[in-house]
Amino acid sequence: MNSLESAEESVQYSHLESRILRFMQGQSEESFETLLLDVHAFQAAYNPVIAPLSRLRPKSWQAIPAIPQEVFKEFRIATFPESASVRVFYTSGTTQAGTGKHWFRSLTLYEEAAREGWRRAGLAGIPILALLPHPSSAPHSSLAQMAAWLTPEKNFVLDKRESISEMIRDSPVIIFGTALAFLDYFERFPPLKLPVGSFAVETGGYKGSQRTISKTDLYQLFERHFGLTAVINEYGMTELSSQFYARGVGTPHQAPPWARALVIDPETNQECPIGEIGLLRLFDLANLGSACVIQTRDLAIRREEGFELLGRDPAALPRGCSLTVRSM
């Protein structure tokens, strides 16, 4: 890409970013479909990995071709030159699986997605204790960066778990962390009753950790150790900029207005009927500088509203945010 092409891409990026930001803030009458089709056309013009899949402009958002999640491990998925990057986040991976990277020209849409998604999940205004590393020690962790937008550095408690009880007062709190971090906490520390109205928000799984526990069993540990029945799962990934939330076991994840999820039959490449199992395909307006449609290897059940997450396709490589925490 030469300097002229880079300048043109920069102008178009800024214009689309403004349109998407207004949409995310509820200040635009544009439709999700119009915006996503425009984002896809932009990415097809400036992203050499996406361009070969986009010889014909799709007529609907559902028809936009998806980039397999694994491609982030093989190629730099970006519309802009590396010199224009402000941050790069790494996927959690094993030595065998490799590590993918998500490059960002701007963090504006990612931050808005994190803050507004948290608000839409009903979590805004409650102090957060993050059972996560801070970006100062994990600069390439997108989850750590997300948490840093939501809570101050003093509330990151991964390295000071013994003092959590001293930080708890009479007001509700949210404890936010990966499933592995919570499991480690439950095994090392005595039960701690949290104030009424508190929540736990857990994310990530156990892939590559040699440990398994069902979500039902994990949520029973939240009740036993914290006195919590209000547990929320945050589903996201480094390759995305938006998150999906579900309350409790067996409840569907919901998308924010600027994202969508389809459960796809891998044999037909079509959306599964309601109640059937397929692979998640995710659509994200906030992924402006990379790929707005990603085909995952995560299994889910299509529900009338949203999807019920089942876990990774057994054929998929181990990965997950929990690995980052476990390795620290």
Which single residue is written with the structure tokens 């880079």? 6
Average pLDDT over residues 95-105: 80
Q: For residue 264, give the H/E element and its range.
A: strand 259-265
Positive or negative, the CA dihedral 286, 290, 295, 298 is negative
Helix, strand or coil, per DSSP, at residue 215:
helix
User: Residues for the chain: how many in total?
Assistant: 328
109-166 tens-digit pLDDT = 999 999 999 999 999 999 999 999 999 999 999 999 999 999 999 999 998 878 888 8
132: which strand partners?
none
Res 228 pLDDT > 90:
yes
In whole angstroms, give the CA distance from residue 222 to residue 193. 10
Q: How far is C-alpha 231 from the chain's CA centre?
A: 17
If pLDDT is split at 50, 70 and 90, which confidence band does 209 have? low
In whole angstroms, give the CA distance from residue 109 to residue 243. 12
12-59 tens-digit pLDDT = 999 999 999 999 999 999 999 999 999 999 999 999 999 887 777 899
pLDDT at 97: 57
Which DSSP category does 55 fall into? Answer: S
- 3-24 vs 32-46: helix crossing angle, rounded to 10: 160
pTM for the full predicted model: 0.91
Average pLDDT over residues 197-225: 84
Positive or negative, the CA dihedral 264, 276, 259, 240 is negative
